[in-house]
Structure 1
Amino acid sequence: MKPLGYVRAGSVEEAVAEFTARPGARYLGGGTNLMDLMKLGVERPTALVDISRLRLDTVEETADGALRVGATVRNSDLAAHPLVRDRYPVLSQAVLAGASGQLRNIATTGGNLLQRTRCSYFQDTGKPCNKREPGSGCGAREGVHREHAVLGHSPECIATHPSDMAVALAAVDARVELFGADGARTLPATEFHRLPGAHPERDTEIRPGELITGVVLPADTAGVPSLYRKARDRASYAFALASVAAVLRVEDGIVRHAGIAFGALAHRPWRARRAEEALLGAAATEDAFGRAVDLELEAAQPLRDNAHKVRLARNLAVDVLTRLAAPAIA
């Protein structure tokens, strides 16, 4: 038997202090990903710091019209919240597209952002994986990689981030709130996750010991038409082969704001900045959407068995943008 410490934190400050005092500790929220990885032997924490009872479980409107979502808000509660459904439907749709009802009832907002890759080479301790064991190699690159990255990958890692929620957060310009030994700070959701580079073991820009305390959904994108679509091998309880979250404001047939993010194409949600720039001030037509998305996907570097993801993502994005624009140009 391997010893495993456990402590239930009574405050954010206590959680960070306990984590810092216990090298090798992990925070425990819903545990839907962490516990799986512990069973597989991928994660071997020395202690668990339980944050599930912290008062971070509410969705609150701020003075400037933004919404603050606490880190321990359950995925089911987030998707069903009236203000989220009304102002940010893309987020509700993305959350409901992920996992199963049972898992959404347990999984938390912060935990969803911190999911590890579902690459089979990462999960199998008998196979090489630079993310799990730096320097061991990437078995997927010449192995089974039908579901792997086509954007932003490196020789060290071709895994994709599995979260649906994180893709929607990137599209709406959300911010992630963090608290650590140096105090509080925030990061744009688009900068929270990392591309693999030479250090695929680092999924995020979170600092050692830092705790996610919440996510802020900005007032600027509240109520702007938005939509999430996900392509997968089966109709439910499956990770995406490609997904798209989009926020689109069209006035007099012209695109005035576009926020587009792809999921399952890269090591992090991929914000389509080139496509957005091409669309601003352009006519909201299917042809314009196609040209803009093609411009973004020029950066794709598909591998032997996953070139289909580029066409799939392209078709999803054009469909989503066309649907969003339809009411404004009817």
Structure 2
Amino acid sequence: MYPFSYTKVSDVGGAIAAGRRGGRYIAGGTTLVDLMRESVERPGELVDISALPLRGVTATAGGGLRIGALVSMSEAAAHPKVRGTFPVISQALELSASPQLRNMATIGGNIMQRARCTYFRDVTAPCNKRQPGSGCAAVGGFNRSHAILGASDQCVATHPSDVAVAFAALEATVHLLSPDGERGVAFADFLLQPGSTPDREQALQPGELITAVEIPAYPRPLRSGYLKVRDRQSYEFALTSAAVALHVRGGVIREAKVAAGGVGTVPWKLPAVERQLIGERPSEALWAEAAEQAVDGARPLHHNRFKIELLKRTVERQLRVVGGMK
């Protein structure tokens, strides 16, 4: 591991000042420390923000939720407001990592975690995300777990977070704080597709600090849930996943929020699926027809063509479960 300095801050102002001078924020450290051990990340300064007052889960006007950036994954998953209002979030968190990691990792850190691509984590392999301009070994390499949506010739790595898929489906907002003040960024704009700059992964300005993730209010009743398909049921990243939220009133679908994971370079919102659902009555035929739209724009690689059919089946199954037709 390369040498670095360590600063523990007790207030937001001190954290932002340290971040502005180039320090890297750390809380649970469940991702960053691993990357430092592997020499993938080499920060000169770590800024420990674990003592900051960013741990609350509060209801917002109309029935939304605001989850503090330093709330642990376990705390968020178990919180009665989260479980009762948006079970899709609780389920996504509980299907992530091991219990030990969920006890340490934070909501802010989870959405900031970097790719689990083997080539990104192997410092002997070319990787544009790690070293811009060096190439992407996954494009012509073993790419079974990689993206079929949102990829470029510069990077085909998927985003690994499960709860980020739920946040994308629910159209959450990421709240940020900097010396210039506060701002909110739509979740769809916060995580960046690789394009020609795969090393830039979030829409953060230097020194900006994530303070919370806010989920907007939705009409009630809102049924939601998360399905994760993986090679094994314990501590594994998704091959495909689906976060679904449906508001059905009078036998008609009035609201539909759907996103997929394990298939995109960012959590992938599925607006074509949503459009197919709204205004329709739930039925087996509707779920199948809507799920066909999930692969709109997909570009599979040599080893992950199976994700096309698997994604459609994942979305269809979760629509059926959330829609009440199991």
Q: Please, what TM-score do these two structures have when normalized by structure 2?
A: 0.96
Instruction: Identify the match of residue 27 of structure 2 among 26, 29, 52.
Output: 29
Q: What's the counterpart of residue 261 of structure 2?
A: 263
More deviation, 209-218/249-258? 249-258
More deviation, 281-290/139-148? 281-290
The within-5 A match list for 1:122-271 is 122-220=120-218, 224-271=222-269
The within-5 A match list for 1:24-173 is 25-173=23-171
Percentage of identical aligned residues: 46
Cα drift, residue 251 of structure 1: 2.4
| Cα pair distance change 1:2/1:239, threshold 3 Å | closer
| Cα pair distance change 1:222/1:90, threshold 3 Å | farther
Distance 1:250 1:214 in 2: 29
Cα drift, residue 313 of structure 1: 1.2
Distance 1:101 1:251 in 2: 37
Consecutive unaligned residues of structure 1, counting only runs of 5 or more, are none
Cα drift, residue 296 of structure 1: 3.3
| Cα pair distance change 1:181/1:130, threshold 3 Å | same
Structure 1 residues 247-301: Cα deviation after superposition (integer angstroms, max 9, x where no partner): 0112233211100000011111000011111211123222222222212313111
Q: What's the counterpart of residue 20 of structure 2?
A: 20
Residues 128, 155 of structure 2: 8 Å contact kept: yes
Q: What's the counterpart of residue 304 of structure 1?
A: 302
Cα drift, residue 222 of structure 1: 6.7
Cα RMSD (Å) of the superposition?
1.5
Q: What's the counterpart of residue 320 of structure 1?
A: 318
Structure 1 residues 190-227: Cα deviation after superposition (integer angstroms, max 9, x where no partner): 22111110011111111221110001122226751001
Residues 86, 223 of structure 1: 8 Å contact kept: no
Residues 240, 310 of structure 2: 8 Å contact kept: yes
Distance 2:273 2:144 in 1: 25
Residues 161, 269 of structure 1: 8 Å contact kept: yes
More deviation, 294-303/73-82? 294-303
Q: What's the counterpart of residue 284 of structure 2?
A: 286
Cα drift, residue 2 of structure 1: 4.3
Residues 156, 197 of structure 1: 8 Å contact kept: yes
SS of the counterpart of 2:195? coil
SS of the counterpart of 1:326? coil
Consecutive unaligned residues of structure 2, counting only runs of 5 or more, are none
- Aligned residue pair count: 326
Q: What's the counterpart of residue 5 of structure 1?
A: 5
